[in-house]
Amino acid sequence: MTATPGATPTIVLVGHGMVGQRFLEALAERGLTATHRVVVLCEEPRPAYDRVQLTSYFSGRTPEDLSLTDMEFIKEHGIELYVGDPAESVDRASRTVTARSGQAFGYDTLVLATGSFPFVPPVPHKDAEGCFVYRTIEDLLAIEEYAKSRARVGAVVGGGLLGLEAAGALKGLGLDAHIVEFAPRLMPVQVDEGGGAALLRTIEGMGLSVHTGVGTQEIVVGEDGAVTGMKLSDGSELAVDMVVFSAGVRPRDQLARDCGLTVGERGGITVDERCRTVTDPHVFAIGECALASDGRVYGLVAPGYEQAQTAAAAIAADEADPLTFTGADLSTKLKLLGVDVASFGDAHGTAEDCLDVVYSDSRAGLYKKLVIGRDGTLLGGVLVGDAEAYGTLRALTGSVPPVSPESLVLPAGAGSGAQLGPSALPDEAVICSCHNVSKGTIRGAVTEHRCTTVPEVKKCTKAGTGCGSCVKVLGQLVTAELEASGVEVDKGLCGCFAQTREELYEIVHALRVSSYRELLDRHGREGARGGDGCEVCKPAVASVIASLAPTIGASGYVLDGEQAALQDTNDHFLANLQKNGSYSVVPRIPGGEIAPEKLIVIGEIARDFGLYTKITGGQRIDMFGARVEQLPLIWARLVDAGFESGHAYGKSLRTVKSCVGQTWCRYGVQDSVRMAIDLELRYRGLRSPHKLKSAVSGCARECAEAQSKDFGVIATSSGWNLYVGGNGGATPRHADLLAQDLSDAELIRLIDRFLMFYIRTADRLERTSTWLERIPGGLEHVRDVVVDDSLGICAELEELMAAHVAHYRDEWAETVNDPERLARFVSFVNAPDTPDPVVSFVPERDQMKPDLPLLAIGRRPLEDALEGSAQR
């Protein structure tokens, strides 16, 4: 079948990847889907998805989350999408494409968007079992399956952007990960030598082993043909169970070669400035398979999107808007968890007479370089360790920054002063380079199109919907613009309350509201009154009521009456929910000190109930795998032996860790264990906006890591130093010194005030660290309030804490002694003796773990299908 004159002209798109999908959108935007028949041949078993965010699959995003294809859009525009049916041949003479299924499609215009394939170096056994590439969702499913079932050590061949992502993923899957890079540094394309060195330290600090300057010579396989190791060019050998090749990509141009289209020497379908192939005016090539008119093949999504729009404009024969593609920027920001790496513009300083401004702190893994032109224009740069300024700097590229380049690279607080916010950017500055959206367009979305939230602006302008690296700056711009135009930014807690958590706290406190329903019906938003609230405000209000319980006359037991219905499942069952529906049990072990007798009791209980036991990062013991109906039985025995709830489930005090201190340690200057126990017993059960952690160290060597805690105490020869606002977790923060050389009584009084001030003024789920950084005045203000009593509220704060301490009762003791309260601990209301069959375990390393395949059966069908296909 060929296109006959007079019939609807046909556009055939080969390849439904990121760029293909963007091309379809561009066709629709130009109205071409109404005048053309559009046929799409998609090779993969699913329509276009977000390849850039592929790695986020390992942090919980499902294949569906990654989808870029709105089926409504496909339907609405009458697009014929053939999934799982690749093009096999093109006959340019008769203008026909034949798909694997045998279907043939005549075309007037053919658009090739076939992307790239991962390059696998021709080493022996490169196809052995346990060798993978990293390109598609199917690849990731296969890697996950193999890593979970039979691998402990993995290697990634290639230390570029994708290689690092792949290595991060292997590590995330619990493997020891090696990176083998032929070049002398990591990310050789994006960063320079100095950046590579800083990056190396950070990556190694994350526990990944890096081998640079060596090639892979051979994959070693065992008798069963599966990978057991790899031989490197320096003669060494690594023992690994799996290998992921990430040694670059090559354009998929075979289809084009076979039909006689010109391709470049090193691959890529040669096109002109309008993305038309130089061989055949009826054929276009876009995305990673195209060799652009500047002689480059672009391996990034932003240039591909630009090409998609260029091709659509050319097909529309839009002479008013003759888009051309003549080259693009290679800015990138690495999304690997915990490491910030970005490069933008002329990162290597290739322009004539340019100079570098460099800030480097190798101990902290920081390296920042800006390339500046002779006239002061910012040309590009490299950021390693702190890419906070990436969005702003990238947008400034090509202009002369309003402040000195030095002040742009110096870290905050290092005498720089000049913190350049997005408000300093000119309107032409490109904020989102994936979709080429300028600051002016974003401001227009707010002022003219009346967008009031980031999601609305994203929808309206497409900004932020590519790699996501501009979303932060986008948020700042939207807020600034809304405030400038006098629109009130909604700071309400959720859809039910227009107040912040702090304001609700004041209402509950002042009006003594002890019922959520009353609060909602009287103080909720108009439309939410009389309703059932939501999952955001219910636990937040429950926490406020619990913190103030003795003062406002509410029940101190968090599961009494209405309060029971407000708690997250963890608080509701006084235990932590695990992935298969079982719970974990964490008794309090104050200060980490435990007598052998109690240790034996824990061992016996865990053995008798068949629980998985683990020493936690908080100096205590967690027992996992308890069924709901077992919780009261377990706790009856724990309570009997003198244990109390550890509140591992609550937004409340967790542990106060301690070092062994003066009693045993030759350096100790105070009894840190005693102080830790005192603090833990004083603040146990205190409900707060987020969890609270503490530690006490017996001397400045700081073995208890007190400076990473919400409130940390370090002994001095004359008393205690109190640090506040420390945090571990994803964004660690060192605590700030609040006061020095305190006596026991002074220390406790200050902590009382500090905690109550935090509980009163923090947002929901705001740790002390973020709170301290957010509140106006920061540490100085907090010091004024809690040390110098500048607001005159210290007496009240102390009273609130005294009431908490006086009313504390152990939640588990209160529960196991009350048959009515025990009634909820069943899997089934109509079959109290039947355990939930989904809670099932299989053995692992002398203990047990959840039966994961069983869980997979319950998951939604699409994922099952995928998991099936992953078993190659």
Q: Where are the alpha helices (DSSP H) in 30-70?
A: 32-35, 63-66
The Cα–Cα gap between 274 and 34 comes to 22
**Judged by CB under 6 A, how many residues of this single chain contact ligand SRM?**
20
What amino acid is encoded at 103 in this protein?
Q
Interface mask toward ligand SRM for 618-647; x: CB under 6 A: x-x-x-------------------------
Whether residue 121 contacts residue 247, with contact meaning beta carbons closer than 8 Å, is answered with: yes
For ligand FES, give the closer residue by CB, 310 or 433. 433
507: partner contacted, choices ligand FAD, another protein, ligand SRM, none (Cβ within 5-8 A by kind) = none
For ligand SRM, give the closer residue by CB, 404 or 578. 578
For ligand SRM, give the closer residue by CB, 381 or 618. 618
For ligand FAD, give the closer residue by CB, 192 or 306. 306
Is residue 830 part of the contact set for another protein (CB under 8 A)? Answer: yes
Interface mask toward another protein for 56-95; x: CB under 8 A: ----x-x-xx------------------------------
Whether residue 114 contacts residue 261, with contact meaning beta carbons closer than 8 Å, is answered with: no
Scan residues 709-738 and list those touching ligand SRM (CB under 6 A): 727-730
Is residue 221 part of the contact set for another protein (CB under 8 A)? Answer: no
What amino acid is encoded at 368 in this protein?
K
For ligand FES, give the closer residue by CB, 394 or 753. 394
CB atoms within 10 A of CB 681: 17
The Cα–Cα gap between 179 and 459 comes to 38
The Cα–Cα gap between 654 and 578 comes to 18
Residue of the chain from 37, 276, 501, 654 that contacts ligand SRM (CB under 6 A): 654
For ligand FES, give the closer residue by CB, 444 or 468. 468
Scan residues 571-610 and list those touching ligand SRM (CB under 6 A): 576, 578, 584, 586
Query: DSSP secondary-structure letter at 342?
Result: E
Shortest separation between residue 732's beta carbon and ligand FAD, angstroms: 25
Is residue 614 part of the contact set for ligand SRM (CB under 6 A)? Answer: yes
Closest CA to 198 of 384, 427, 441, 35: 384
The Cα–Cα gap between 544 and 218 comes to 62
What amino acid is encoded at 757 in this protein?
F
Residues that bind ligand FAD (CB under 6 A): 14-20, 41-44, 51-52, 54-55, 86-87, 113-115, 134-135, 162, 165, 252, 255, 287-288, 299-302, 304, 332, 467
Interface mask toward another protein for 777-816; x: CB under 8 A: ----------------------------------------
767: partner contacted, choices another protein, ligand FAD, ligand SRM, none (Cβ within 5-8 A by kind) = ligand SRM
Shortest separation between residue 82's beta carbon and another protein, angstroms: 20
464: partner contacted, choices ligand FAD, ligand FES, another protein, none (Cβ within 5-8 A by kind) = ligand FES
Full DSSP string of 236-272: -EEE-SEEEE-S-EEE--HHHHHTT--B-TTS-EEB-
86: partner contacted, choices ligand FAD, ligand SRM, another protein, none (Cβ within 5-8 A by kind) = ligand FAD
Query: DSSP secondary-structure letter at 531?
Result: S
Specify the long-range contacts of residues 596-602, CB closer than 8 Å, at least 24 apart: 597/641, 598/641, 598/642, 598/643, 601/637, 601/638, 601/641, 601/643, 602/638
From residue 494, alpha-carbon distances to 487, 545, 610 in Å are 18, 18, 41
Is residue 411 part of the contact set for another protein (CB under 8 A)? Answer: no
Whether the CA torsion 176, 179, 65, 496 is positive or negative: it is positive
For another protein, give the closer residue by CB, 67 or 212. 67
Shortest separation between residue 471's beta carbon and ligand FAD, angstroms: 13
What amino acid is encoded at 27 in this protein?
L
Whether residue 724 contacts residue 693, with contact meaning beta carbons closer than 8 Å, is answered with: no
SS3 of residue 852 by DSSP: helix
Bridge partners for 577 per DSSP: 583
Is residue 476 part of the contact set for ligand SRM (CB under 6 A)? Answer: no
463: partner contacted, choices another protein, ligand FAD, ligand FES, none (Cβ within 5-8 A by kind) = ligand FES
Is residue 86 part of the contact set for ligand SRM (CB under 6 A)? Answer: no
User: Furthest-apart CA pair in the chain: how many Å?
Assistant: 95
Q: Are strands 109-112 and 10-14 parallel, antiparallel or unpaired?
A: parallel
Torsion of CA 215, 217, 221, 226, to 10 degrees: 50
Residue of the chain from 46, 538, 657, 760 that contacts another protein (CB under 8 A): 538
For ligand FAD, give the closer residue by CB, 286 or 786. 286
Residue of the chain from 364, 823, 842, 865 that contacts another protein (CB under 8 A): 823
Closest CA to 10 of 34, 37, 32: 37
Whether residue 270 contacts residue 286, with contact meaning beta carbons closer than 8 Å, is answered with: no
Question: Which two structure tokens, joined as six digits, stand for 395?
Answer: 């947008």
For ligand FES, give the closer residue by CB, 268 or 380. 380
Contacts of 798 (CB under 8 A, 6+ apart): 749, 752, 753, 756
Residue of the chain from 617, 642, 777, 832 that contacts ligand SRM (CB under 6 A): 617
Shortest separation between residue 134's beta carbon and another protein, angstroms: 25
Is residue 855 part of the contact set for another protein (CB under 8 A)? Answer: yes
For 193, how many CA atoms within 13 A lie in the half-sphere containing its CB? 1
Is residue 49 part of the contact set for another protein (CB under 8 A)? Answer: no
- DSSP strand E in 182-232: where? 209-212, 216-221, 227-232
Binding-site ranges for ligand SRM (CB under 6 A) = 576, 578, 584, 586, 614, 616-618, 620, 622, 648, 654-655, 691, 693, 727-730, 767
Binding-site ranges for another protein (CB under 8 A) = 60, 62, 64-65, 495-496, 517, 527-528, 531-535, 538-539, 562, 564-566, 568-570, 572-573, 577, 579-581, 823, 827-831, 834, 836-839, 854-860, 862
